[in-house]
Amino acid sequence: MSSQDRAHPGKCFDKLTRKALLPDKEYKPKGICAAMTCSLEAREISIETCPYVEAPGCEELPSDPNWRFPKCCPQFKCVDFKTGKDFIVSL
């Protein structure tokens, strides 16, 4: 990823999505479970993704990659060891 591009002054250019990003605005590109923010001051594009979680006793549920971040992040079906009931954990 390139933070700046001569063809897009005052913006960050993301080579992956081929988009010029306005500074300090959050972008949630289709097909990528992430949020991107352009910082001209830092000369970078920050990318926030789903956290990595190890969840013993839980089953990862399928997620839809077409949903926008953070709805595209996985959910987990877990069992409450005291009650034996299932519950859903969203990240």
Q: pLDDT by residue (tens digit) across 64-76?
A: 878 999 999 999 9
Q: Note the pLDDT of residue 4.
A: 57
Contact indicator for 46, 36 with CB cutoff of 8 Å? yes
At residue 1, the pLDDT reads 45
Q: Using 70 as the pLDDT threshold, list the residues of the chain that sit under it.
A: 1-5
Strand pairing class (75-79; 86-90): antiparallel
Question: Considering the entire predicted model, what is its pTM?
Answer: 0.73
